[in-house]
Amino acid sequence: MADATPLEYTRKSQEQALDALKQTQDAVVDALGSWAKAVEGSAPEVPALPMPKGTPEVEELIANSFDFAGEILSAQREFAQNLVSAAQPAVKIREVETASA
């Protein structure tokens, strides 16, 4: 990436960070699964947790929470784009050559 643009460097760094995050998450899920299988037969029976009738399943709560977070992120993106558009008349940009490292 000798002639990469700043945006290309940013995207490559983001890709590497996301890959590292996914690898770490996979390792944690695998470790927890292994632990759960190991203690499954050796631990005494654990009573079920009492939950009020109609309580959503954990998977539903996770989906709902992440759907909402996605909507917030989308709204924030639109807000940021609108801010840039609103400021455009007052902000002038000109490209300049920079020294290569």
Residue-by-residue DSSP string for 22-81: HHHHHHHHHHHHHHHHHHHTTSPPPPPPP--TTPPPHHHHHHHHHHHHHHHHHHHHHHHH
Asked if residue 18 is part of any domain, the answer here is yes
Asked if residue 85 is part of any domain, the answer here is yes
- The per-residue pLDDT for range 64-83, each reduced to its tens digit, is 999 999 999 999 999 999 99
Do 68 and 34 lie in one domain? The reply is no
pLDDT value, residue 100 = 67
Mean pLDDT of 32-53: 87
Do 10 and 36 lie in one domain? The reply is yes
Asked if residue 49 is part of any domain, the answer here is no
Looking at the structure of the chain, the number of domains it has is: 2
Asked if residue 48 is part of any domain, the answer here is no
Nearest 5°: the CA angle 78, 84, 90 is 155
* 36-45, 56-65, 75-84, 86-95: least confident range: 36-45
Asked if residue 101 is part of any domain, the answer here is no
pTM for this structure? 0.70
Among 83, 99, 100, CA closest to 91:
83
Asked if residue 50 is part of any domain, the answer here is no
Asked if residue 29 is part of any domain, the answer here is yes
Do 63 and 35 lie in one domain? The reply is no
Separation in Å, CA 83 to CA 57, 76, 87, 92: 39, 10, 6, 15
Q: Give Cβ neighbours of residue 4 (< 8 Å, ≥ 6 apart).
A: 12
The type of residue at 14 is: Q
Do 4 and 33 lie in one domain? The reply is yes
Domain range for 27: 1-40
